[in-house]
Structure 1
Amino acid sequence: MAKGEIVTVKIEEMDFKGYGVGYCEGKPLKVRGGILGQRVAVRVKKGKKGRAEGEIVEVIERSPFEVESPCPHFGECGGCTYQNLSYENQLKIKKDVVLKLLEKEGIKDFEFLGIERSPKVYGYRNKMEYTFGTDREGKKALGLHRKGKFYDVVMTDKCNIVDEDFTKALSLTFNYALEKNLPFYDKKTHEGYLRYLVVRKASKNGELLINIVTTTQLKHKFDDLVELYRSANFSSTLVGVLHTYNDSWSDAVICEKLEVLYGRDYLIEELLGLKFKISAFSFFQTNSYGAERIYSTVREFAGDVSNKTIFDLYCGTGTIGIVMAPLARKVIGIELVEEAVFSAKENAALNGLENAVFIAGDVSKKLREIKEKPDIVVVDPPRSGVNPKALEDIVNFEPEKIIYVSCNPESFARDLRLFVDKGYAVKKVKAIDMFPHTYHVELVGLLEKS
């Protein structure tokens, strides 16, 4: 396959990043936007490390699994990848991807508990970051990035993975911005005022937080917009409206200064009977209902922990540790980001938990300073997986159980192999669909000392 050549392939499988994979001249060709079962003409371009990737020039034969997408933005918006597949087929693809990666690493003789459906298939997201910009025709828009494009924005006012409160906040804000003739930020020139609209909702607790992100290039009072929000017929309770200032050139929501325009700067969510304070910039799982399924699985895999010490590594805002603390003798959480550790301590206090300790620092370094020995170690690392030094230290503690939570099937399978090579056996693996209509999947694995 030469770069620029157009070849015809059938998509025979999907990879863990949502690419379709076909074979040409016996070699794999990754196809962005390809769907299992399609026959497509593909323009070849070389990917990283010599691997071939390609883009679809023409769909010659539709996939037998393809359905009409219920979302009018699908195909143009870059948010979802699987809206044109039935939910059952989405689950099957994710399950097959996980099993293939585990097989590739030689992980066998374990109980695979299948893939659990998201409790909500539509309207499940509790957070959205909308971008102010222009669409491909140059018209003002507020929504998500167009598929594969950095500058273009799609007006996603009919998105079905959020509930009506998000759509209502988006429409109110967009119409207000047009009425006031407020300039939208231009990422090419770095000029303009309105940058992002961030909406967070406590799905289970019914609280709503709206954050308007702007530059400092203009002075504007949002009092009348706040009143519009307050008088809107939201299904949830509006607890706060915020104004964040962000002059950074990077395409990210960065807080350089925060003003509370109304109410408070956080909301309270409940998971498994425990309360969590979520600030405007706190990390929290974006599917609250799915998060409960992950944490319930961690509890199930841990078993009776009434006399156990648990290490919660890469603990973030401490959600897993806090979920385990009411059942355990002691929980020690370690996280690099100090702000996240502050939130973890705050949430432990909010729930009256005195047996949960959270430490700020590099996991691999802090593990060598701790004198206590864990009975169970829970790891929920970043997508890159467990730091090799930290993995070595975990094994040296000789915990009876290791529970591995992951959002990346590839690093999950790789790290399980490393634990197996160091004397642990994979007992159970469960996949949980946290993000319907995307290629993402969450995994929980149980390892025990051989």
Structure 2
Amino acid sequence: MTEAYSEQADDLIELELTTMAHGGSALGRHNGRAIFVPYAIPGERITARITQDKGRFAYAEGVTLLEGSEARVQPRCPHFGPRRCGGCHWQHIDYTAQLAFKEQIVRDQLARIGGISEPNVLPIIASPSAWQYRTHVTLHVTPDGQLGFIGTDDQQIVPIQECHIIRPELQDLLERLDVETLDGNVLARVRLQVGTESADRLIALSTLDDQPPAVELDLPLSVSFLSEDERAQPLIGTGKVHYTIKGRTFQVTAGSFFQVNLPLAETLVELVLARLALQGTEHVLDLYSGVGLFTAFLAERAALVTAIEGFPTAVDDADANLRDLSNVTLIEGLVEDVLPELDETFDAVVLDPPRSGVEITALDALAALAPAQIVYVSCDPATLARDARRLIAKGYTLQDVQPLDMFPQTYHIEAVATFTRS
């Protein structure tokens, strides 16, 4: 290790923070080395203590705030901060600044990972609500029955009494739940979910022994057991909630994915439809189609839609949600398995992969289909940039990227990227 990299863990250093990095930490440099500091803000000057020395870079924790940022605000939640709840990352940052940082991060990731020198990143779309927007949340259970989130150390569970990013209906449930060990089944996780209507509420329970727990309930809601493979077993009620987007109602069973921020879920649909500008003659492929959110609106505007989804429960939901549409083919299977076997021609493709992005075999198979247009809905700018680089190498042009703040108070970013075949 050279002299420039000689700091040891617990050494104090002075830093001027210049950039917000992907992952939510502010970046400064000491002796030329990148130092990442959570809960700090670009423009601040601090003293910091190295906590993890990685050689070419390091992680540190702020010790003293020498010069603060105008963007620094008082966090709303008592559980927020170092060594506390890991659910939020940016409550200490003014919301307008959060938006600017997210837009910058998308641009930086596309340039650094994607190799795109001047990506066309459009102004970020803000969430209508910066607080109380989440329609579902997964809480972990401590051995003594307290509910909480995984802490910032990714190890301990931090018990919470309040959460300022969940819908008020879920906060009400959180306050009223009494978690106990029943019949020897120890609860591991409790998922709270609310539909568009406040009375449409669901609790999904996971246990340490993967066996359904006994449940006593005096609240008007559904309860399901979620096994280790995320399969749902209703214990009380239907085990489903319902979301209305642009006049269509979607059933969502416990374990199936649906966007947590309903106003921006509607915006996502509108963005995808606007990018495609369908004329009614197209055959569209919808990958990672989930419960059919995009599929339904694509089918109303295209001649044919083929949808691929790998999670069986979501496929069952999609089958119910798309029952009134005769021009949809729904295929159950992993995208990376099904896509290379398709021999049809598609005019456009919509994909909404998980945070890990698209597997390389699936991405190559997608490019081989040579659709004229690809609309990629991403929840991670790093994997979007990685996949964009490969699509560009396969003959596509990135037209633009539209970020959305689906997850205020966190560093997570949603974005819609539009590619056309060169």
Which of 205, 208, 211 lines up with 2:204 in the alignment? 211
1:297 aligns with 2:290: no
1:156 aligns with 2:161: yes
Which of 143, 149, 153 lines up with 2:148 in the alignment? 143
Q: Which amino acid aligns with 1:9?
A: L
CA contact (8 A) 2:185 2:209 kept: no
Tell me the SS of whatever aligns to 1:124.
Answer: coil
Task: Determine the structure 1 residue equivalent to 2:242.
Answer: 268
**Cα distance change, pair 217–22 in 1 and its aligned pair in 2 (3 A):** closer
Q: Which amino acid aligns with 1:97?
A: I
Quote the Cα distance in structure 1 between the aligned partners of 2:333 and 2:77: 43
Q: Which amino acid aligns with 2:18?
A: E
Task: Determine the structure 2 residue equivalent to 1:166.
Answer: 170
Deviation at 1:310, TM superposition (A): 0.7
Deviation at 1:417, TM superposition (A): 2.1
RMSD, aligned CA: 2.8
Quote the Cα distance in structure 1 between the aligned partners of 2:389 and 2:297: 28
Task: Determine the structure 2 residue equivalent to 1:436.
Answer: 408
Deviation at 1:144, TM superposition (A): 2.1
Tell me the SS of whatever aligns to 1:267.
Answer: strand
CA contact (8 A) 2:252 2:314 kept: no
Task: Determine the structure 1 residue equivalent to 2:321.
Answer: 347
Tell me the SS of whatever aligns to 1:285.
Answer: coil
Deviation at 1:329, TM superposition (A): 0.8
Give the gaps of 5 or more residues in structure 2: none
Task: Determine the structure 2 residue equivalent to 1:235.
Answer: none
CA contact (8 A) 1:215 1:245 kept: no
Quote the Cα distance in structure 2 between the aligned partners of 1:112 and 1:256: 38
Task: Determine the structure 1 residue equivalent to 2:66.
Answer: 60
Deviation at 1:55, TM superposition (A): 2.6
Quote the Cα distance in structure 2 between the aligned partners of 1:60 and 1:109: 35
Task: Determine the structure 1 residue equivalent to 2:393.
Answer: 421
Where in structure 2 are the equivalents of 1:81-96 lying within 5 Å?
81-96=89-104
**Cα distance change, pair 193–422 in 1 and its aligned pair in 2 (3 A):** closer
Where in structure 2 are the equivalents of 1:107-118 lying within 5 Å?
107=116, 111-118=120-127
Q: Which amino acid aligns with 2:142?
A: G
Where in structure 2 are the equivalents of 1:294-333 lying within 5 Å?
294-333=268-307
- Superimposed CA distance per residue, residues 39-79 of structure 1 (whole angstroms, 9 cap, x where no aligned partner): 22223244668532223333333333101122232213211
Where in structure 2 are the equivalents of 1:188-203 lying within 5 Å?
193-203=186-196
Deviation at 1:241, TM superposition (A): 3.2
Quote the Cα distance in structure 2 between the aligned partners of 1:345 and 1:403: 23
- Superimposed CA distance per residue, residues 157-180 of structure 1 (whole angstroms, 9 cap, x where no aligned partner): 2x2112222122112113xx4xxx
Task: Determine the structure 1 residue equivalent to 2:23.
Answer: 17
Quote the Cα distance in structure 2 between the aligned partners of 1:405 and 1:333: 15
Q: Which amino acid aligns with 1:28?
A: A
Task: Determine the structure 1 residue equivalent to 2:223.
Answer: 241
CA contact (8 A) 1:40 1:57 kept: yes
How many residue pairs align between the two structures?
Answer: 413
Q: Which amino acid aligns with 1:416?
A: A
**Cα distance change, pair 293–30 in 1 and its aligned pair in 2 (3 A):** same
CA contact (8 A) 1:380 1:405 kept: yes
Quote the Cα distance in structure 2 between the aligned partners of 1:140 and 1:341: 34
CA contact (8 A) 1:146 1:154 kept: no
Deviation at 1:416, TM superposition (A): 1.5
TM-score normalized by the length of structure 2: 0.89
- Superimposed CA distance per residue, residues 168-219 of structure 1 (whole angstroms, 9 cap, x where no aligned partner): 2112113xx4xxxx3599xxxxx87343332111136752112344557999
CA contact (8 A) 2:256 2:291 kept: yes
Quote the Cα distance in structure 2 between the aligned partners of 1:71 and 1:45: 25
Quote the Cα distance in structure 1 between the aligned partners of 2:111 and 2:312: 38
CA contact (8 A) 1:144 1:154 kept: yes
Quote the Cα distance in structure 2 between the aligned partners of 1:375 and 1:217: 44
CA contact (8 A) 2:90 2:98 kept: yes
Task: Determine the structure 2 residue equivalent to 1:410.
Answer: 382
CA contact (8 A) 1:205 1:269 kept: no
**Cα distance change, pair 343–3 in 1 and its aligned pair in 2 (3 A):** farther
- Superimposed CA distance per residue, residues 112-133 of structure 1 (whole angstroms, 9 cap, x where no aligned partner): 3210011222111000122232
Quote the Cα distance in structure 2 between the aligned partners of 1:155 and 1:278: 27
Deviation at 1:303, TM superposition (A): 0.6
Quote the Cα distance in structure 2 between the aligned partners of 1:217 and 1:403: 38
Deviation at 1:285, TM superposition (A): 1.2
**Cα distance change, pair 371–64 in 1 and its aligned pair in 2 (3 A):** same
Which of 139, 146, 151 lines up with 1:130 in the alignment? 139
Task: Determine the structure 2 residue equivalent to 1:367.
Answer: 339
Deviation at 1:150, TM superposition (A): 2.1
What fraction of aligned residue pairs are identical, expressed as a percent? 30
